[in-house]
């Protein structure tokens, strides 16, 4: 394989300099004609939007699906919209088709055609989106960009309203169901409380029984004191009866006695027997009352449990119904709110630009020069190769 020296390459380029110059000039001439004569100036209109997220923003982990209020909050939350979501929605078919229809551009643009002309940019570390479009008509470019931003805001609002309307319809129907459940629970509690011997009545009877037992025990205590006093008095009476005759003992409460000598032992014995009888009778009453209290406690616990269950059902039904009513009122407001305007604001509208951004004449000329040089060098080397091949072919024929 023959080696080509650098000197030979340079000599080839020098011999083909006219060819390279002509091709480069032709490319430059064509680029000049296209840039200054054929291509029309294009203008860029831009609109800047500031977005904010009205969605849950990742806080759903703190919600308890078993809690009715959390469940309703989760249902009524706005979608979690980030910058990329907004970007996709701006160029959605709904927004583009409405823009074409509003500006009567059906004969000029298709949905995909207009979408390809729209350029979206986001500013780093911000919530801003820039909508840009290049067109030869600056007025039309500004009108399209402004109408696109306006329709996008309306689109976000409409979608939020649709979501709120679906939730509102569910809450409204479920609210009627929860109201019926609440009324049924109230009626059940009312019927239960109207029955004889409810938990409250049994509780009062228990309190009264405990007070009666306390009174009985206090009476027994007094009677036992009296009994002890009578026993002591009888013993004293017997110790004095042999020497001094009978005595009359009138016991007071405590340890004091009024003693007079008389033959009254029989009276004291009768009084003692009566006291012991009263003690025994009171103890029987206490025993019977304790049995009655035990029965009351069992009945009270049953009634209390039954009433607590029904009351708990009433409270749950009430809280659930009130939660649906509160959410119903919130959704009534959300249905009429302009969510798009709350989440998206216009930082700057598009104005018809006065300075064209294209064609970039200097860049086009520079590209044409580089391209012309490349083509010229290629043609020069190809020509040199072709001539060299012809010479080799002629030399081979002469040798033969």
The residues of the chain scoring below 50 in pLDDT are 1-2, 56-58, 60, 63, 65-66, 245-247, 254, 261
Angle at 231 between CA 226 and CA 235, to 5 degrees: 145
Q: Are both 253 and 315 inside the same structural domain?
A: yes
Q: Which two tokens stand for residue 73?
A: 């909050």
Q: What is the DSSP string of 149-190?
A: HHHHHHHHHHHHHHHHHHHHHHHHHHHHHHHHHHHHHHHHHH
- What is the distance between the alpha carbons of residues 133 and 119, in angstroms, rounded to a whole number? 6
Q: Are both 256 and 323 inside the same structural domain?
A: yes
Q: Are both 92 and 26 inside the same structural domain?
A: yes
Answer for the pair 389, 395: CB distance below 8 angstroms, yes or no.
no
Instruction: Phi first, then psi: give them for residue 164, nearest 5 degrees.
Output: -65, -35
Q: What is the pLDDT of residue 261?
A: 47
Q: What is the pLDDT of residue 267?
A: 79
29 within domain boundaries: yes
- What is the distance between the alpha carbons of residues 282 and 291, in angstroms, rounded to a whole number? 14
Half-sphere exposure of 143 (CA within 13 A, CB side): 12
Q: What is the pLDDT of residue 63?
A: 47
Q: Are both 116 and 225 inside the same structural domain?
A: no
**In what helix (H) or strand (E) does residue 323 lie, and over which residues does it extend?**
helix 265-336
- Residue that terminates a domain, selected from 288, 310, 330: 330
The one-character DSSP state at 231 is H
Q: What is the pLDDT of residue 340?
A: 56
- What is the distance between the alpha carbons of residues 396 and 342, in angstroms, rounded to a whole number? 86
- Residue that terminates a domain, selected from 308, 330, 352: 330
57 within domain boundaries: no
160 within domain boundaries: yes
Residue 84 CA to chain centroid, in angstroms?
21
Q: Are both 96 and 118 inside the same structural domain?
A: yes
400 within domain boundaries: no
87 within domain boundaries: yes
Q: Are both 381 and 314 inside the same structural domain?
A: no
- What is the distance between the alpha carbons of residues 147 and 355, in angstroms, rounded to a whole number? 22
Q: What's the whole-model pTM score?
A: 0.55
CATH of the domain at 132: 3.30.1890
> Tens digit of pLDDT for each residue in 221-240?
999 898 888 888 888 777 76
347 within domain boundaries: yes
Q: Are both 356 and 295 inside the same structural domain?
A: no
Query: How many domains does the chain divide into?
Result: 2
Q: Are both 261 and 320 inside the same structural domain?
A: yes
With 0-12 / 13-18 / 19 or more C-beta atoms within 10 angstroms meaning exposed / middle / buried, residue 104 is exposed
Q: Are both 38 and 137 inside the same structural domain?
A: yes
Q: Are both 201 and 296 inside the same structural domain?
A: yes
Q: Which of 144, 134, 130, 117 is nearest to 86 (CA)?
A: 130
123 within domain boundaries: yes
Answer for the pair 90, 131: CB distance below 8 angstroms, yes or no.
yes
Range of the domain at 345: 6-52+83-165+337-387
- Residue that terminates a domain, selected from 330, 345, 366: 330
> Tens digit of pLDDT for each residue in 180-192?
989 999 998 888 8
211 within domain boundaries: yes
Q: Are both 317 and 341 inside the same structural domain?
A: no
CATH of the domain at 287: 1.10.287.370
Q: Are both 17 and 122 inside the same structural domain?
A: yes
């Amino acid at each position: 394989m023959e080696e080509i020296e650098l000197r030979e390459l340079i000599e080839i380029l020098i011999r083909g300099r006219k060819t390279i110059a002509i091709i480069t000039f032709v490319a430059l001439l064509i680029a000049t004609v296209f840039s200054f004569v054929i291509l029309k100036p294009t203008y860029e209109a831009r609109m800047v939007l500031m977005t904010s997220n009205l969605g849950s923003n990742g806080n759903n982990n703190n919600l308890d699906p078993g809690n009715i209020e959390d469940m309703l909050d989760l249902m009524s939350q706005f979608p979690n919209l980030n910058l990329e979501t907004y970007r996709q929605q701006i160029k959605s078919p709904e927004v583009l088709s409405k823009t074409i229809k509003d500006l009567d551009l059906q004969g000029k643009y298709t949905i995909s055609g207009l979408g390809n002309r729209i350029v979206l940019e986001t500013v780093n570390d911000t919530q801003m989106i820039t909508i840009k479009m290049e067109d030869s008509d600056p007025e039309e470019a500004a009108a399209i960009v402004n109408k696109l931003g306006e329709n996008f805001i309306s689109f976000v609002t409409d979608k939020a309203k649709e979501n709120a309307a679906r939730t509102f319809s569910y809450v409204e129907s479920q609210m009627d169901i929860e109201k019926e459940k609440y009324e049924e629970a109230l009626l059940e509690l009312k019927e239960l409380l109207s029955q004889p011997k409810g938990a409250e009545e049994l509780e009062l009877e228990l309190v009264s029984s405990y007070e009666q037992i306390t009174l009985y025990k206090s009476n027994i205590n007094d009677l036992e004191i009296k009994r002890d006093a009578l026993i002591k008095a009888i013993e004293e009476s017997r110790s004095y009866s042999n020497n001094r005759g009978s005595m009359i003992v009138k016991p007071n409460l405590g340890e004091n006695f009024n003693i007079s000598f008389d033959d009254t032992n029989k009276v004291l014995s009768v009084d003692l027997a009566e006291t012991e009888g009263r003690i025994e009778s009171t103890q029987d009453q206490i025993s019977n009352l304790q049995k009655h209290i035990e029965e009351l406690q069992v009945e009270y616990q049953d009634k209390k449990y039954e009433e607590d269950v029904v009351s708990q059902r009433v409270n749950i039904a009430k809280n659930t119904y009130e939660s649906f009513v509160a959410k119903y009122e919130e959704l009534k407001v959300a249905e009429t709110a302009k969510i798009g305007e709350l989440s998206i604001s216009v930082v700057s509208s598009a104005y018809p630009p006065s300075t064209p951004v294209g064609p970039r004449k200097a860049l086009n000329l520079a590209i044409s020069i580089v391209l012309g040089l490349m083509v010229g060098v290629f043609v020069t080397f190809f020509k040199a190769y072709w001539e060299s091949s012809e010479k080799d072919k002629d030399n081979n024929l002469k040798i033969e």
